Amino acid sequence: MSTTVPTAPIVAAGLVGGFAVGRATKQRPLAGVVLAAAGVTAGMQWARTSGPATTAALVATYLAAFGLSHPLAKKIGAWPSVFTAAAVSAAAAWVLNDRRG
Contact 46, 11 (CB under 8 A): no
83 within 8 A of 69, measured Cβ to Cβ = no
- pTM of the predicted structure, to 2 decimals: 0.93
pLDDT tens, residue by residue, 57-99:
999 999 999 999 999 999 999 999 999 999 999 999 999 999 9
